[in-house]
């Protein structure tokens, strides 16, 4: 028995991997340099506020979820500096290094934009916190039944992924719970819909692109969360030799002035904003572990298919 799946009754019935993951695209290794997000899904997802599904969740333990709601950082209302200038994009390409010449061309032009006050998680959602949701709502855990060798091989063939299945094993849960040693690592291998459903269950939502960028840039509109110059030792970067996620909120030298962690480089993060001109794609922000600079700036953005599951893609909630 795998519990109830997103409001359905009876035992969870696993679909074939290909049926679950149409529209999956790449976000790892060399794919970071490729701005395509793969073919769009065959049908647009109907609008869903998640309230119907939440009513079908059982009354499970919410210790971490409730604590996360309390710990959210309040970002005050006011004008936010969003987007980038051509000079900033040029510097970002130099921060990225070899292979970065064609990156960052889809960023919005620099502007001031008024934002209402909002709250945002100080860290990405952890495996342990996501496990509470899996138990409460019967959501598919990112385990070996969901992320099968056949599914991963299909991704590699369709999207040209460089990472082999054995190399993702440490990110795949052994069952309905993550490895205890990775409980405080970011929850990854989660789709945009699953991330949004988790946040709604917890009492929040995914941040918009503008909200995420304002939180990452701080009140002064910094280029990177800590300032205007890239520093590879403030994030889990290639220069640090990072090959894996770590516990969230540990590398505090990369924090924003308002105390938001891990926005400059740990995992990319889902937003609720659809990517203009890319059907079925959403904006993702941040930077993945082991990657170079340029990404991790507040203005940096990538389009990713809503159904992608990736080892470098997590999320945090807003409200």
pLDDT digits (tens, 9 = 90+) for 178-195: 999 999 999 999 999 999
Task: Please name each of the domains of the chain with its CATH number.
Answer: 17-314 (3.90.1580.10)
d(CA 315, CA 319): 14
User: Are β-strands 73-75 and 118-120 bridged in parallel, bridged antiparallel, or unpaired?
Assistant: antiparallel
HSE value, Cβ hemisphere, 13 Å, CA-based, for 311: 27
Give me the tens of pLDDT residue by residue for the chain, a chain 319 residues long: 444 333 333 344 444 443 333 333 333 343 344 334 454 444 444 455 677 788 778 777 789 999 999 999 999 999 999 999 999 999 999 999 999 999 999 999 999 999 999 999 999 999 999 999 999 998 999 999 999 999 988 877 777 777 899 999 999 999 999 999 999 999 999 999 999 999 999 999 999 999 999 999 999 999 999 999 999 999 999 888 999 999 999 999 999 999 999 999 999 999 999 999 999 999 999 999 999 999 999 999 999 999 989 999 999 999 9
For residue 54, count other CB atoms closer than 10 A to its CB. 17
The model's pTM: 0.84
Q: Is residue 242 a contact partner of residue 248, using CB atoms and an 8 Å limit?
A: no
Residue 192's alpha-carbon distances to 8, 168, 306, 310, in angstroms, are 20, 19, 5, 11
Could you give phi then psi for residue 78, rounded to 5 degrees? 150, 175
User: CA 289 to CA 240: how far, in whole Å?
Assistant: 10
CB atoms within 10 A of CB 276: 10
101 within 8 A of 27, measured Cβ to Cβ? no
Cα–Cα dist 302/297, whole Å: 12
What is the tens place of the pLDDT at every residue in 225-243? Answer: 999 999 999 999 988 899 9
Contacts of 104 (CB under 8 A, 6+ apart): 84, 89, 92, 93, 294, 300
The sign of the dihedral angle between the CA atoms of 175, 180, 184, 188 is negative
Torsion of CA 51, 56, 62, 66, to 10 degrees: 10
Check if the beta carbon of residue 191 is closer than 8 Å to that of residue 136: no
Q: What is the pLDDT of residue 123?
A: 98
**Cα(260)–Cα(251) distance, rounded to whole angstroms?**
11
């Amino acid at each position: 028995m795998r519990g109830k799946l997103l409001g359905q009754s009876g035992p969870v019935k696993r679909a074939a991997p290909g049926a679950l993951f149409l529209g999956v695209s790449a976000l790892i290794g060399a794919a970071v340099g490729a701005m395509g997000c793969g073919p769009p899904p065959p049908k647009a997802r109907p609008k869903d506020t998640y309230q119907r599904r939440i009513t079908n969740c059982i009354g499970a333990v919410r210790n971490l979820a409730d604590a996360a709601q309390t710990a959210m950082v309040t970002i005050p209302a006011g004008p936010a500096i969003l987007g980038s200038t051509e000079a900033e994009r040029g510097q970002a390409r130099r921060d990225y290094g070899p292979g970065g010449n064609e990156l960052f061309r889809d960023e919005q032009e620099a502007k001031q934009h008024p934002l209402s006050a909002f709250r945002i998680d100080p860290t990405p959602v952890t495996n342990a916190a996501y496990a509470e949701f899996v138990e409460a709502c019967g959501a598919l855990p990112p385990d070996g039944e969901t992320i099968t060798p056949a599914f991963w091989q299909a991704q590699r063939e369709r999207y040209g992924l460089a990472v082999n299945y054995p190399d993702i094993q440490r990110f795949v849960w052994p069952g309905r719970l993550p490895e205890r040693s990775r409980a405080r690592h970011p929850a990854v291998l989660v789709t945009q819909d699953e991330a949004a459903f988790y946040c709604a269950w917890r009492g929040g939502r995914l941040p918009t692109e503008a909200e995420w960028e304002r939180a990452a840039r701080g009140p002064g509109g910094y280029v990177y969360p800590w300032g205007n110059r890239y520093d590879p030792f403030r994030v889990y970067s290639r220069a640090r030799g990072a090959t894996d996620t770590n516990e969230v909120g540990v590398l505090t030298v990369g924090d924003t002035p308002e105390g938001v962690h891990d926005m400059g480089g740990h995992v990319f993060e889902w937003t609720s904003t659809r990517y203009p001109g890319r059907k079925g794609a959403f904006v993702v922000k941040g930077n993945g572990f082991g990657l170079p600079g340029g990404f991790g700036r507040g203005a940096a953005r990538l389009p990713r298919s809503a159904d992608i599951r990736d080892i470098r893609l997590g999320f945090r909630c807003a409200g």
